[in-house]
Amino acid sequence: MISVLNNQITTIPSPNSLNYPKTSSQEATINIIWNKTYGGEFIDVAQSITKSSLGGFALSGWTNSSGAGDLDIWLLRIDNNGDPIWNRTFGDYEEDKGFEIIESSMGGFAVAATTKNTTTFQPNNDISVIRLADNGNLIFQKNYSGPEQNSTSLKSDLGRSIVECPNGDFVIAGVTGTAVGASDVYLFRIGANGLVKWERTYHHWDNERCYTPHSLVLCSDGGFAIASYTYEVSKSNDVWLIKTDSFGIEQWNYTYGVDSGYERPESLVQCADDGFGIMANTQSFGAGATDAWFIRTDALGNQIWNNTYGGTEEDGCNQAVLMSDGGFTLVGSTHSFDLGNGDGWVIRIDSEGDILWQETIGDAYGNGFTSFIYLGNNTYVATGSTYSLGSTYQDLWVIKFYVDISETVPPSNGIPGYDLYLFFSSILFCMILLIFKKKRASYS
């Protein structure tokens, strides 16, 4: 049973103690249009949201409040006011999770998911692709394993991100286990009927993973880019960006990070100059335990700039969206600037990574954003999870809000009234100089 609640959510003024590249140049006030939670007695979370061309939104995640098993893939469609249109669960008695959801040009939706395969020698994970019609009816659900998997394999495959090609094919990115016990980034293409056309794996150090939704993009040249991470025992985790052609053949790859550090990507966008924006999180540098980390590259993966955002505690962002001015909006969660137990976090940066504005949204019980859509006119719909008073488990959370923005002029040198001081000082200096010249003229 799905229940819908209207939470009492608070918007928190922008903190003024952030470790930002510069002082915010805009003041932002968030106006909540509506906010709702969905779920039952146990865990209900969202990983991705997409806009429906028929109106409203579709979401993917997982639940163990309903369905057949421990966790089940949970797909929902809601209208423009956040009211449910339908919800569907998919899975068996083991864990099954939905990740990225996209709207298909052929109608309906496509979902990259992970499902537990219980027909093998020992249950392990497979990648699952689900195609739904606009009314929620199932078109197909097909499961896929990597090239080194078989019926007695103990390795797992994980589905995370999905894009649609112009001809109606789908390309899916995730992880596949290898025979030597490691993992590789896995990319494969299927037709509209779900049949595999080609598959590729990518290896760099010891273990490589494409682990999050929104980490695969269809590039302007028809190829693909994958935001993943690579792990080496002596170097820990680095962000790993892979660029391929339209057949998945690697063209180049770059790693970003520091030796013996921890950096992992969360999402990827391609920019107007064909470069990329990588939303990541880092524990290696920044202000606190974990910080949001944004990397801007050129079209060949060379880093142009990078910035971290956060305070002294756990902070991170899960998705970035490219804006029309070349900047980006980032969403995630913060423990440095929250009311308690974490709050949803929205950051707007310009094309150089400097903060334009940032706000937190939440209550004292714990909230966080995982995915969002920009609707235009400073209006957003974001999803994630939230706790309520006395609850042990999360509910799926969707909130629609408008951001009222006003420009601010920071005082010069950070001193209030400094510009006014300079103005009157200049006038006084000119008056003294004029008097001095008149006195000299009277003596000559």
Both 290 and 434 in one domain: the answer is: no
Both 309 and 429 in one domain: the answer is: no
Conformation bin of residue 417: beta by default, left when phi > 0, alpha when psi is -120 to 50: left
Both 287 and 424 in one domain: the answer is: no
DSSP labels, 387-419: --TT-SS-EEEEEEEEEEEEE--PPGGG-TTHH
Give the structural domain span for 432.
418-444
Both 249 and 348 in one domain: the answer is: yes
Both 278 and 404 in one domain: the answer is: yes
Residue pair 279/317 in contact by the 8 Å Cβ criterion: yes
DSSP labels, 277-336: EEEEEESSSSSSSBEEEEEEE-TTS-EEEEEEE--SSBEEEEEEEE-TTS-EEEEEEESS
Instruction: Give me the pLDDT at residue 422, please.
Output: 45
Taking the model in full, what pTM does it have?
A: 0.87
Q: Is the pLDDT of residue 209 over 70?
A: yes
Number of domains in the chain: 2
Q: Which of 2-11, 24-33, 171-180, 211-220 has the highest mean pLDDT?
A: 211-220
Percent with pLDDT over 70 in the chain: 82
Both 441 and 377 in one domain: the answer is: no
Nearest-10 Cα torsion for 104, 106, 111, 117: -160
Distance CA 160, CA 165 (A): 17
Q: Is the pLDDT of residue 423 over 80?
A: no
Q: Is the pLDDT of residue 263 over 80?
A: yes
Both 224 and 326 in one domain: the answer is: yes
Q: Is the pLDDT of residue 129 over 50?
A: yes
Asked which of 3-12, 272-281, 320-329 is least confident by mean pLDDT, the reply is 3-12
Listed as own residue / partner, the contacts of 388-395 with beta carbons closer than 8 Å and 24 or more positions apart are 388/5, 388/7, 388/37, 389/365, 391/365, 393/39, 393/41, 393/42, 393/43, 393/44, 394/39, 394/43, 394/44, 394/45, 394/366, 395/5, 395/37, 395/38, 395/39, 395/44
Asked which of 23-32, 132-141, 193-202 is least confident by mean pLDDT, the reply is 23-32
DSSP helix/strand/coil, 250: strand
Both 171 and 240 in one domain: the answer is: yes
* Rounded to 5°, angle at Cα 82 from 161 and 387: 75
Both 273 and 422 in one domain: the answer is: no
The closest of 329, 363, 320, 325 to 344, measured between CA atoms, is 363
Residue pair 366/342 in contact by the 8 Å Cβ criterion: yes
Tell how strand 261-270 and strand 236-244 pair up.
Answer: parallel
Domain containing 244 — which CATH number? 2.130.10.10
Both 98 and 66 in one domain: the answer is: yes
The closest of 126, 123, 100 to 114, measured between CA atoms, is 126
Both 127 and 181 in one domain: the answer is: yes
DSSP helix/strand/coil, 158: strand
Both 343 and 376 in one domain: the answer is: yes
pLDDT per position as a tens digit, 32-48? 999 999 998 899 999 99
pLDDT band at 11 (very low <50, low <70, confident <90, very high): very low
pLDDT band at 378 (very low <50, low <70, confident <90, very high): very high
